[in-house]
Amino acid sequence: MLRAAISATETEIKGGPLASDLVGVVPKHAIVLDLDYYTPPSDQPFVIQKGKMKDFIRSSWERTKKTAAFVHGRL
């Protein structure tokens, strides 16, 4: 299953200007895409083998990249 959320953020720097080497990596505004992949609740304990966990992580990463590209194209 998937839970998805999109939000906007604004960064406020307090205490003086941001160091020049950080200006390019700390955006003033950003869109956050939060994707959580999970297994539905069950009465039974959830056990996953190492190989299947690796596959789950890989497929989640691939789906996330595709979703991020889709959202980016619309914004």
The total of other beta-carbon atoms located within 10 Å of residue 5's CB is 9
| Res 70: pLDDT | 94
- Residue reference for tokens 């960064």: 11
Task: Give the tens place of pLDDT for each residue, 13-72.
Answer: 888 788 888 878 888 899 999 999 888 788 888 888 999 999 999 999 999 999 999 999
pLDDT at residue number 36: 93
Query: pTM here?
Result: 0.66
Domains of the chain: total: 1
Residues 6+ away with beta carbon under 8 Å from 10 = 28, 29
Residues in the chain: 75
Distance CA 63, CA 70 (A): 11
Indicate whether 4 pLDDT > 90: yes
Identify whether the C-beta of residue 31 lies closer than 8 Å to the C-beta of residue 6.
yes
Report the pLDDT value the prediction gives residue 60, as an integer from 0 to 100: 92
41: containing domain: 2-74
